[in-house]
Amino acid sequence: MTALPTRRDEEFRYADLGALAPLWPVPVETIVVAAGEARAMSFANTGARELSITLAAGASLDLHVLNAAAGYGRIAVRAELGAGARFTFGAAQLAGAGQVLEVVTEVAHLSPDAVSRQVVRSVAGGGSTVNYLGKVHVAKGADGTDGSQSVRAMLLDRQSTANAKPELEIFADDVKCAHGCAVGELDAGALFYMAQRGLPPETAKRLMLQAFVAEAFAGAADEDALIEQAIAALEAML
């Protein structure tokens, strides 16, 4: 049996190891997208899942995830991109009541001209913790790579925590890679503006959070269904 990770393992540095123990080892789900094929996937996570993704030359995959498990929720994604492949990953995490939710990604650009886009939006309340650890690796010779990470977390109270570690590892010259990360609270000015126009504070708060979370699902094939599930999860935690 594979030994349970420790906090010395980088991708488990913020994990709830006690909650992970009964789920360990997490089976690896393999996804292979053939050359030139386009696929879209989405799911709501209710535990721990680990995906190993391979995109052949010219393949594309749009993957969207709602991480709003009742207890501990972990999504680990490893993707290898061939020449001219395109990988889009959007994830929303909604944590409350002391939960730990986390997304861990490693996207490897192994050949030229591949594109990856990652958008992760997290909301934490009730003393919960949301984590994101993500690496974009660009191999030697993978010229023309275009990779980005957009990571934002919203804290609903001072007892909640967000940990974020976006990382770029680049061994090629002609690339375009960027990452952005921000952790904050709801904009008091925007809440005041909405209140001045007659919206009750709780309604304004819900609308702002819904718009924030919806950014993770923009362009998804089943965008409306994902947003509907996310709103239900928000309602349960507010």
**Mean pLDDT confidence for 210-233:** 94
**Mean pLDDT confidence for 21-35:** 96
Q: At what angle do helices 201-214 and 188-196 cross, to 10 degrees?
A: 130
Cis geometry, peptide bond prior to residue 200 (ω within 30 degrees of 0): no
pLDDT > 80? residue 115 = yes
Confidence of residue 187 (pLDDT cuts 50, 70, 90): confident
161-170 vs 115-124, strand pairing mode: unpaired
| pLDDT at position 1 | 60
Cis geometry, peptide bond prior to residue 25 (ω within 30 degrees of 0): yes
The answer to whether the beta carbons of residues 47 and 21 sit under 8 Å apart is no
d(C-alpha 6, C-alpha 198), whole Å? 51
